[in-house]
C-alpha cells in the first residue's frame, strides 16, 4: 500500500495512541525502546529511547593504557569486533606515527572483510526473519558459523577477538588458515546464489520491502547516515574508496549503490541488496589479498610502550554499519585523555524517526531491521 493511502484520514480527527515497544522485543535487535505515537495503525511520531546497554566505554578508556582499551572496543559492536579494534588501532597509530609491515595490513584487511561477510550475512538472516522469512535465517547462520569457526582457529575466541592491536596484530595467521578460508569461500559463493533465489526476487519479500521506508539522500546525509544504508540511497560513499586506509588502494573492488530496481531508490529492498552485493565484493577482496599477501614479521612494528605524541586525531573507518570514527586526545602519557567513539549505528538510528513517519507499525519493524543497528555500539 502506498504512503498516501495510509495517511488519508478523510477529515476525521482521532486521538493518538502511544504504543510502547521494547526494551524487550525481539525485532528491536537488542534492548531498544520505541515510543510510537500512532493514529490507528499509522505511525505519526516515533521516539527511540536508548541507553539500556550503556557500559561507560569512554569513561573506562580514560583510565586504561591504550593497549588495554582494545578489548573494550571489541565489546561495543559485538557483531563486528574486528572492525572496532581495527578502527581504534588505526587512530592510535596515527598519533604514534608508525609504519606497519605490509603483511600486517593484509592480515587486517583479511579479517576485516571476513568480519564484514559475517556481519552482513547476519543482517540478511535477521532481516528476512523480520519480514517473516525463516529459512534464510537458518541457512546464513549455518554459513556464518564457518566464519566464526575460522576466527576461533585464528584467535581462540568466537565473538570478541582482541586480535588487532595498535602497531600490529596479536599473532600471525596459523597453519592452514589460508587454505581453510579459501575452502570456505569456494563453498560460500554457490550458497549465495541459493540465498539470492530465496529472498531477492521473492514476491512476498519484495512486497514487504520495496517502496517502504524511503530514505532520501539529502535527508540521509543531514542525519549522518553512513555505510550501506547511505549507499542504498544512491550515494557512492565508502571510506575504503574515499579515504583508503590499510591496503585498500591496492585492491580492486566496486562499491554497490542502490538503484531502486524494485521500487524507489533508498527503500528497504535497496538497503538489503547493497549489503548482499557487498558480500560478493568482500569475497573478491579476500581472494586478491591471499594472492598478494607477502611474508614478514607481524610484530616488527609493535611498540614496546604505547606513548603517543601530544595532540588529537579524528580517524575514520568503514565498519559494516558505516563510518566508525575515533576522536582520541593524547597528552603524552600512556593513558588517553579522551576517547570518543563516533558509532555509525548511533547516527543511523537517529534517522529512524524521520524515515518511519507515516508508515504502519509492521513497516517500522522492516525499516528498523533494514538499518541494521547493534545496540551495543549505540549505547557504548
Partner 1 sequence: MPEKTLIDSIKSIDDSIAYDDETKIFSIGEVDKWFEIATEIKNLNFDYLMCITSIDLENDQLALAYNLHSTETKKSIEFNLVFPKDAQIPSIESLWKTADWHEREAYDMMGIKFVNHPDMKRILLPHDWEGHPLRKNYVVADYYHGMYIPKDKTEWE
Query: Which positions lie near partner 1, rule CB under 8 A?
Result: 50-51, 54, 56, 58-59, 62, 221-224, 235, 237, 242, 311-312, 314, 316, 323, 325, 327, 329, 338, 340, 342, 346-347, 350-351, 354, 379-380
Residue number, 90 or 286, with CB nearest to partner 1: 90
> In this structure, how many other beta carbons lie within 10 angstroms of the beta carbon of residue 313?
17
SS3 content of the chain, % helix, strand, coil (to 5): 50, 15, 35
> In this structure, how many other beta carbons lie within 10 angstroms of the beta carbon of residue 131?
23
Residue number, 113 or 372, with CB nearest to partner 1: 372
Q: Distance between alpha carbon 277 and the CA centroid of its chain, in Å?
A: 14
Measured at the CA of 314, the angle between CA 310 and CA 319, to 5 degrees, comes to: 135
Residue number, 50 or 133, with CB nearest to partner 1: 50
CA distance 164 to 27: 31
CA distance 274 to 320: 12
CB of 126 to partner 1, least distance (A): 24
Does residue 50 contact residue 375 with C-beta atoms inside 8 Å?
Answer: yes
Residue number, 1 or 56, with CB nearest to partner 1: 56
Residue number, 201 or 312, with CB nearest to partner 1: 312
Residue number, 36 or 133, with CB nearest to partner 1: 36
CB of 311 to partner 1, least distance (A): 7
CB of 71 to partner 1, least distance (A): 14
CB of 22 to partner 1, least distance (A): 16
- Report which secondary-structure segment, H or E, holds 316: strand 311-319
Residue number, 112 or 226, with CB nearest to partner 1: 226
Residue number, 177 or 327, with CB nearest to partner 1: 327
CB of 260 to partner 1, least distance (A): 20
Three-class SS state of 279: helix
Torsion of CA 119, 278, 72, 27, to 10 degrees: -40
Q: Which long-range contacts (CB under 8 A, 24 or more apart) does 326-330 make?
A: 326/87, 326/88, 326/90, 326/91, 328/91, 328/92, 328/95, 330/95
Burial of 8 (0-12, 13-18, 19+ CB in 10 A): exposed
Three-class SS state of 42: strand
CB of 338 to partner 1, least distance (A): 6
CB of 173 to partner 1, least distance (A): 31
CB of 217 to partner 1, least distance (A): 9
Does residue 168 contact residue 85 with C-beta atoms inside 8 Å?
Answer: no
Residue number, 136 or 256, with CB nearest to partner 1: 256
Pairing of strands 168-169, 164-165: antiparallel
Grid coordinates representing 240?
575504503
Amino acid at each position: 500500500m502506498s504512503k498516501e493511502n495510509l495517511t488519508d484520514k478523510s477529515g476525521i480527527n482521532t486521538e493518538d495512541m502511544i504504543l510502547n515497544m521494547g526494551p524487550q522485543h525481539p525485532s528491536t535487535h537488542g534492548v531498544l525502546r520505541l515510543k510510537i505515537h500512532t493514529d490507528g495503525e499509522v505511525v505519526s511520531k516515533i521516539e527511540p529511547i536508548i541507553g539500556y546497554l550503556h557500559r561507560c566505554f569512554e569513561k573506562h578508556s580514560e583510565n586504561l593504557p591504550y593497549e588495554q582499551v582494545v578489548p573494550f572496543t571489541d565489546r561495543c559492536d559485538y557483531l563486528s569486533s574486528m572492525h572496532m579494534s581495527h578502527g581504534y588501532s588505526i587512530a592510535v597509530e596515527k598519533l604514534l606515527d608508525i609504519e606497519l609491515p605490509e603483511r600486517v595490513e593484509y592480515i587486517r584487511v583479511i579479517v576485516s572483510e571476513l568480519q564484514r561477510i559475517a556481519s552482513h550475512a547476519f543482517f540478511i538472516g535477521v532481516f528476512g526473519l523480520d519480514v517473516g522469512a525463516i529459512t534464510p535465517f537458518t541457512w546464513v547462520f549455518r554459513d556464518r558459523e564457518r566464519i566464526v569457526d575460522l576466527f576461533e582457529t585464528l584467535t581462540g575466541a568466537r565473538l570478541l577477538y582482541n586480535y588487532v592491536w595498535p602497531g600490529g596484530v596479536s599473532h600471525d595467521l596459523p597453519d592452514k588458515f589460508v587454505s581453510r578460508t579459501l575452502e570456505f569461500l569456494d563453498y560460500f559463493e554457490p550458497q549465495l546464489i541459493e540465498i539470492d533465489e530465496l529472498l531477492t526476487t521473492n514476491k512476498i519479500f519484495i512486497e514487504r520491502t520495496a517502496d517502504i521506508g524511503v530514505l532520501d539522500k539529502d535527508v540521509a546525509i543531514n542525519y549522518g547516515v553512513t555505510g550501506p544504508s547511505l549507499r542504498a540511497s544512491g550515494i557512492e560513499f565508502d571510506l575504503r574508496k574515499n579515504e583508503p586506509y590499510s591496503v585498500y588502494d591496492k585492491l580492486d573492488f566496486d562499491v554497490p549503490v542502490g538503484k531502486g530496481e524494485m521500487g524507489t531508490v533508498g527503500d528497504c529492498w535497496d538497503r538489503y541488496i547493497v549489503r548482499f552485493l557487498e558480500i560478493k565484493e568482500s569475497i573478491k577482496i579476500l581472494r586478491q589479498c591471499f594472492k598478494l599477501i607477502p611474508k614478514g614479521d607481524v610484530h616488527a612494528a609493535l611498540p614496546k610502550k604505547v606513548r603517543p605524541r601530544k595532540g588529537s586525531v579524528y580517524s575514520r573507518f568503514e565498519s559494516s554499519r558505516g563510518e566508525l570514527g575515533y576522536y582520541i586526545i593524547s597528552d603524552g602519557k600512556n593513558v588517553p585523555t579522551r576517547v570518543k567513539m563516533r558509532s555509525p549505528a548511533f547516527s543511523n538510528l537517529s534517522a529512524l524517526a524521520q524515515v518511519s513517519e507515516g508508515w504502519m507499525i509492521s513497516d517500522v519493524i522492516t525499516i528498523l531491521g533494514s538499518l541494521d543497528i547493534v545496540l551495543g555500539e549505540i549505547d557504548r
